[in-house]
Amino acid sequence: MEQQRKTILSGMQPSGELSIGHIAGALRNWVTLQHDFDSLFCVVDQHAITVQQEPAKLRKWTLDLVAMYQAAGVDPSKSVVFVQSHVPEHVQLAWILTCLTGMGECSRMTQFKDKSERHSDNINVGLFTYPILMAADILIYNADLVPVGEDQKQHLELARNLAERFNHRYSPTFTVPEPYIPKVGGRIMSLQEPTKKMSKSDPNMKASIFLTDSDDDIRNKIRRAVTDSGSDIRYDEQVRPGISNLMSLYHIATDKTFADIEAEFAGSTGYAPFKEAVGEAVAAYVRPIRERFLELRADEDSLRAIAKAGAEQARHRAWKVLRKVYKKTGFIEL
């Protein structure tokens, strides 16, 4: 008898163009994991509106992500690709989980504090309860594994707590999810401030390598990347954050180990030859993703069809879980 595959769920916000950090930290892992797991990959447009968005841009970026997931290698015939707002069961479960969550639990979330500082003119309740909706995203599919970055580990811990709390209060219903933390290359830093994570929302366009950048854009950004004092190519995040970040990019683009990279450029005088090699390697790595994205993005009808088919599969699964939750909570069945 074939063993049932474990379920994995992850998603990204449609709030701007994706950077190479999204490939390193998420998409590469998704592509690998989809072969071994029952995989659901979501465009979390409802999370995106905790920060003010232009409606036209939000619609564009949502379809951009459906295309970019595929351009990076996510296969809709192997994985469920869908848009969060197309599956209302997420917010239906979120309300029940909200009623199980303490005020203190949400107020302790560091991301709420950070975003409140950055968007002080729009500290809304959605921003406060964002982690509860994220918990619902995960629990509605009984996900076993959730690929998360360091900045989301606290949110996943809340999801685990809520699953255990519901199971204890009513009866075993939810799988308690485990984090999947990517290995080396999962965290790419800003090219202009290498102690800060690369971000699609960075106002300095030279700080990020976007997956839609041209070859020349990529080469020029890496040529102008901030480096450290000295001239040797050596990996040390604390002492040499600039060079270590460029080495991470070279590692992603070539799969060479840091030891191999150090040996390749041993005795190099100055950083220029290393930067040229990194620029060429990263441009070659991004090129097929960009070209495939542009090809897919041109066929909007196909993207909508993929999102629709994914939503139908997701809703079928989500409703089965929500029915159990409603019954256990005490709601009369519709």
Residue 200 a catalytic site member: yes
Q: Are 40 and 9 in contact (CB under 8 A)?
A: yes
Q: Which of 44, 106, 76 is nearest to 307 (CA)?
A: 76
Say which of 6, 57, 60, 197 is annotated catalytic.
197
Query: Is 70 within 8 Å of 116 (Cβ atoms)?
Result: no
Q: Is 206 a catalytic residue?
A: no
**Does the active-site annotation cover 197?**
yes
Distance CA 164, CA 159 (A): 9
Q: Hey, how many other C-beta atoms are within 10 angstroms of the C-beta on 171? A: 9
Rounded CA separation 44/28 (Å): 19
Run of H or E including 81:
strand 79-83
Distance CA 152, CA 179 (A): 10
Separation of alpha carbons 311 and 319, rounded Å: 12
CA atoms of 239 and 7, how far apart (whole Å): 40
Q: Which of 200, 206, 256, 328 is catalytic?
A: 200
**Structural contact between residues 24 and 63, judged by C-beta atoms closer than 8 angstroms:** no
Tokens of residue 230, six digits: 């000295």
Q: Computed over its alpha carbons, how large is the radius of gyration of the chain?
A: 21
Q: How far apart are CA 8 and CA 190, in angstroms?
A: 29
CA distance 89 to 140: 8
Q: What does the alpha-carbon distance between residue 59 and residue 54 come to, in Å, rounded to a whole number?
A: 9
Instruction: Compute the C-alpha angle 274/279/285, nearest 5°.
Output: 125
Catalytic residues: 115, 197, 200
